[in-house]
Amino acid sequence: MHEMSLCEGIRGVIEDQAAQHNVTRIAKVRVEIGRFAGVETDALHFAFDVVMRGSVAEGAELITIDLPGRAMCYDCMKEVEIDHRLDPCPDCGGGKLMPQGGDEMRIKDLEVA
């Protein structure tokens, strides 16, 4: 379950930011996850609760924001949203797509309690 190591990285960022800003408790953590990132959100929520124990984010709510997959279609020369990497272009039906986004994962913001 790589979601556990992802949460350990999130914890590191949270602790660094909390120390920099003299924060003692985090109430909410919003994380943006691209559709192609390969992250299982249910497993991420479970791992988050486990990994955050004993930290400033213990008991914090994890909010995941789904980001669409994006690709450049070389048939119609448009950037389009796709659900799966191998989907055809939703505009022209072409199959020459180069993924442009959707594999990212980042902390959007933290809400202080």
Question: Where exactly are the structural domains of the chain?
Answer: 2-112
d(CA 56, CA 45): 17
Question: What mean pLDDT value characterizes the chain?
Answer: 95
Q: What is the pLDDT of residues 59-72, one digit of tens each?
A: 999 999 999 999 99
Which listed CATH number (3.40.50.2300, 2.40.30.10, 3.40.120.10, 3.30.2320.80) goes with 2-112?
3.30.2320.80
pLDDT of residue 85: 87
